[in-house]
A and B are shown apart, each in its own frame.
Chain A
């Protein structure tokens, strides 16, 4: 089945530093990838949608200069949290849509726990 690899699974960083999270589709091409953020015991909130080769579309209230998204290939999207602060601590999850399966082909990564100290 379709597999999405997300790395790292957890990261601790100091305030002011930047952290990059990778989301990779291992056995399919993902024309579209999605980035979600999840606070403890809450739902997933969509942050942005990225299409291969074009700029990401950010949801209202998400700072695009803080959360840099790059989708340079059909199998890789990255989320960089720039100048991280403690309030950025959260669980980040990516999702990739298989271009061959259309609306029935969403696969999620295992998530990244970010802790900013």
Chain B
């Protein structure tokens, strides 16, 4: 069953702008992961944040985690056309990863 719910479902921005995607989940987790999927391709792991962490950075990516609200956000700064893809959060409860519905990001050059 799906646990994560991303918001918004679709996001269209201009190149150079920042993109923020949110993810909410329902139960306690070990960690939360964000993945990227280009159309018709497999998933690429972006970043993992553990349940005892609140913020994590990786290049232009910034992830936050609020376990009290059971939510996470992914911020992509200075977006590029190549960032156009679907982004999924996945929660790890010690069982198979459970994916949210994803956010389709379009970055317009």
**Total contacts A-B at CB 8 Å:** 48
On whether A109 and B101 interact (CB within 8 A), knowing A44-B88, A103-B92, the answer reads no
Tell whether, in the assembled complex, residue B42 and residue A43 are in contact, meaning their CB atoms are under 8 Å apart: no
Across the interface, name the chain B residue whose C-beta is closest to A48.
B96
On whether A93 and B42 interact (CB within 8 A), knowing A41-B104, A44-B99, the answer reads yes
Mask, A40-70, CB within 8 Å of B = 1, is 0111111001000000000000000000000
Contact of A43 among B31, B33, B92, B101 (CB under 8 A): B101
Across the interface, name the chain A residue whose C-beta is closest to B94.
A103
B41 at the binding interface (Cβ < 8 Å): yes
Closest chain-A Cβ to B11's Cβ sits at a distance in Å of 14
Tell whether, in the assembled complex, residue A106 and residue B45 are in contact, meaning their CB atoms are under 8 Å apart: yes
Measured CA separation A91–B99 after assembly (Å): 15
Tell whether, in the assembled complex, residue A95 and residue B97 are in contact, meaning their CB atoms are under 8 Å apart: yes
Chain A contact residues: helix, strand, loop or mixed: strand
Across the interface, name the chain B residue whose C-beta is closest to A35.
B96
Across the interface, name the chain A residue whose C-beta is closest to B98.
A46
Tell whether, in the assembled complex, residue B40 and residue A111 are in contact, meaning their CB atoms are under 8 Å apart: yes
Closest chain-A Cβ to B17's Cβ sits at a distance in Å of 23
How many of chain A's residues have a CB under 8 angstroms from any CB in B? Answer: 22
Across the interface, name the chain B residue whose C-beta is closest to A109.
B42
Query: Contact residues of A with B, CB < 8 Å?
Result: 6, 34, 36, 41-46, 49, 91, 93, 95, 103-104, 106-111, 113
Query: Contact residues of B with A, CB < 8 Å?
Result: 2, 30-31, 33, 35, 40-45, 48, 88, 92, 94, 96-102, 104
In addition to A46-B98, A106-B97, A107-B45, 6 A-B residue pairs with Cβ atoms within 8 Å of each other are A44-B43, A46-B96, A95-B97, A104-B48, A109-B42, A110-B42
What are 30 A-B interface contacts by the 8 Å CB criterion? A6-B42, A34-B96, A34-B97, A36-B99, A42-B101, A42-B102, A43-B2, A43-B88, A43-B100, A43-B101, A44-B43, A44-B99, A46-B96, A46-B98, A93-B42, A95-B97, A103-B30, A103-B31, A103-B92, A103-B94, A104-B31, A106-B33, A106-B45, A108-B35, A108-B42, A108-B43, A109-B42, A110-B42, A111-B40, A111-B42
